[in-house]
Amino acid sequence: MTEMETLFNPFEPGFTDDPYPAYRMLREHDPVQEHPFGFWILSDHADVVALLRAGHSVDARRTSLGGAAQEQYELLEGDGFNVLNRSMLDRDPPDHTRLRSLVSRVFTPRSIAALEPEITALVDAALDRMAAAGRADLVEELAFPLPFTVISNMLGLPPTDQVRIRDLSGRLVRSLEPVFEPEALTDISQAGAEMTAITRELIGWKRANPADDLLSALIAAEDGGDRLSDDELVAQVVLLYVAGHETTVNLIANGTIALLRHPDQLALLRERPELTGNAVEEFLRYDSPVQQTRRITLKPHVAQGREIPAGAFVIACLASANRDEKFWGPGADALRIDRENARQHVAFSVGPHHCLGAALARLEGRVAFERLVRRFPDLSFAGDVEWNGRINLRGPARLPVAVRA
Ligand code: HEM
């Protein structure tokens, strides 16, 4: 096998429809790959975990390499991102520690658990609409609106132009792609600038109309001292907003596809609904909503005897780690909703940046699958799945299903 054949190439036609054969090839032939585009990519579970726990940087501005890393650097330095790059996702300690602790104080497990009745009502309303129509795009009816409405309501956003925010957010998350066309940089940057402006307006409105919600609590935290600057507030709100729905949509949609492609597992879930929580963990492992994250090495990092130099831009392929036979055993590619160690997936990352919204995503996923599976015994595909073409936040753009209540 030539080096070219084992190169991670997300531009290959069909890659985003099914990236798993390519990840397998990486793990088998070049699990610590130095890519000609200017990044490294780790695809084994043990290497991904070790990298994320090693305390390297998340700040792309610290890279000393060119290539793909340079594009990320330019984005973060550009006008559209000079505010958004203050989100905790792009910051190292001490900023990261301070920002994360502040947001965690208002985004508590209790406040999330209290959302279950609202989430249940939203799911049931979506299922009612699907039942009435008989056929539906599950992304449009359930997987997207559920997390989008929940995070909008949590933040206490006024009924703004949701179509515009949805469009902006979809453009903005392309900044999380490992590689992109040069012309995309301008568009992503413009989306960042517009999103910042809208969020500033929302914060202004909320200052005048405080209520019992997350945004008011974050504003109070800012006003209570100099712990959160204006720009930092904007950046955390956009992060919560975007992370709140651009990821969970894929959990619900990818999980549904996985079940429909494995009727035995769907039947098992119907028979044993108490497995739903574990099934959600297995969906996160089997087809991860966020396929990768990245770190900039602060010092040389050794993986499988290879030394990655300091200043390197390293992609940790979470989705590949979640299918690594060396960790999961020979059944790694199988969907098994009763897999005992499913929770050891790295879909929410590990280490200091472990997903802050994991409890919310798990709750939304559990309620959605509990109700969906119980309500529609005949749930089936009603057309081809259309993938969104993203390498990182990968999921379907359209998922046509037929239902009979
Ligand atoms: C961070 C995945 C849902 C908020 C992360 C990271 C991953 C991730 C992989 C860490 C990135 C890294 O280590 O570099 C997911 C998945 C989700 C999900 C798979 C759904 C299935 C949510 C939700 C929210 C949220 C619902 C909030 C409403 C955050 C925040 C961070 C984060 C604030 C930054 C944490 C930090 O930098 O310290 N998420 N996420 N996520 N996520 Fe999520």
Residue 381 phi, psi dihedral angles, 5° rounding: -65, 145
Instruction: Assess if residue 1 is contained within a domain.
Output: no
d(C-alpha 385, C-alpha 387), whole Å: 6
To test the pocket of ligand 1, the residue of 42, 348, 392 to mutate (highest count of ligand atoms within 8 Å of its CB) is: 348
Residue that the structure tokens 């108490």 belong to: 274
Beta strands in 220-339 (DSSP E): 292-296, 301-303, 306-308, 313-317
Total domains in the chain come to 1
ipTM of the complex, rounded to two decimals: 0.99
State the average pLDDT over residues 225-242. 87
- Tens digits of residue pLDDT in 319-351: 999 999 999 999 999 999 999 999 999 999 999
163's enclosing H/E stretch is: helix 162-172
pLDDT at 181 (0 to 100): 73
pLDDT at 254 (0 to 100): 98
Contact 23/286 with Cβ under 8 angstroms? no
State the average pLDDT over residues 151-164. 82
State the average pLDDT over residues 210-221. 90
Ligand 1: centre distance to CA 349 (Å): 8
**Is residue 286 very low, low, confident or very high in pLDDT (cuts 50, 70, 90)?**
very high
Contact 313/294 with Cβ under 8 angstroms? yes
d(C-alpha 49, C-alpha 225), whole Å: 36
d(C-alpha 111, C-alpha 134), whole Å: 35
- ∠ Cα 337 246 375 (to 5°): 45
pLDDT at 184 (0 to 100): 82
Tell me the CA distances in angstroms from 170 to 298, 318, 355, 394, 396, one per residue in order: 31, 21, 20, 12, 13
pLDDT at residue 395 is higher than 90: yes
pLDDT at residue 226 is higher than 60: no
- C-alpha 44 chain-centroid distance: 19
137's enclosing H/E stretch is: strand 135-137
pLDDT at 67 (0 to 100): 61
What are the CB-based long-range contacts (under 8 Å, 24+) for 120-125? Answer: 120/367, 120/371, 122/146, 122/149, 122/150, 123/367, 123/368, 123/371, 123/372, 124/371
Ligand 1: centre distance to CA 293 (Å): 10
pLDDT at 405 (0 to 100): 59
- Tens digits of residue pLDDT in 360-378: 999 999 999 999 999 999 9
d(C-alpha 22, C-alpha 14), whole Å: 11
Instruction: Assess if residue 6 is contained within a domain.
Output: no
Ligand 1: centre distance to CA 1 (Å): 37
Quote the percentage of the chain above a pLDDT of 90.
74
**Is residue 198 very low, low, confident or very high in pLDDT (cuts 50, 70, 90)?**
very high
Q: How many residues does this entry show for the chain?
A: 405
Torsion of CA 194, 234, 114, 111, to 10 degrees: 170
pLDDT at 225 (0 to 100): 60
SS (H, E, C) 208-225: HCCCCCHHHHHHHHHHCC
Give me the CATH number covering residue 187: 1.10.630.10
Residue 39 class from Cβ within 10 Å (0-12 exposed, 13-18 middle, 19+ buried)? buried
- C-alpha 325 chain-centroid distance: 23
To test the pocket of ligand 1, the residue of 355, 360, 394 to mutate (highest count of ligand atoms within 8 Å of its CB) is: 355
Give the number of the atom of ligand 1 that is nearest the alpha carbon of residue 360: 26
CA distance from start to end of the chain:
51
Mean pLDDT across the chain, nearest whole number?
Answer: 92
pLDDT at 227 (0 to 100): 73
381 closest CA partner among 295, 281, 260, 300: 260
Quote the percentage of the chain above a pLDDT of 70.
95
- Sheet order of strands, 32-34 included: 32-34, 40-42, 313-317, 292-296
Instruction: Assess if residue 247 is contained within a domain.
Output: yes
Q: Which domain holds residue 294?
A: 13-402
Instruction: Assess if residue 309 is contained within a domain.
Output: yes
Task: Name every protein residue with a CB atom under 6 angstroms from any ligand 1 atom.
Answer: 52, 58, 88-89, 100, 151, 239-240, 243-244, 247-248, 251, 289-290, 293, 347-349, 353, 355-357, 360-361
Instruction: Assess if residue 8 is contained within a domain.
Output: no
DSSP 57: B
- ∠ Cα 288 292 298 (to 5°): 150
Within 10 A of 81 (CB to CB), how many other CB atoms are there? 24
Nearest CA to ligand 1 atom 28: 244
Instruction: Assess if residue 7 is contained within a domain.
Output: no
- Tens digits of residue pLDDT in 76-86: 777 777 888 89
State the average pLDDT over residues 137-153. 96
73 vs 229, higher pLDDT: 229
Instruction: Assess if residue 198 is contained within a domain.
Output: yes
pLDDT at residue 40 is higher than 60: yes
Paired sense of beta strands 301-303 and 32-34, if any? unpaired
pLDDT at 10 (0 to 100): 86
Name beta bridge partners: 42: 32, 316
Instruction: Assess if residue 5 is contained within a domain.
Output: no
Beta strands in 166-284 (DSSP E): none
Nearest CA to ligand 1 atom 14: 293
Ligand 1: centre distance to CA 394 (Å): 14
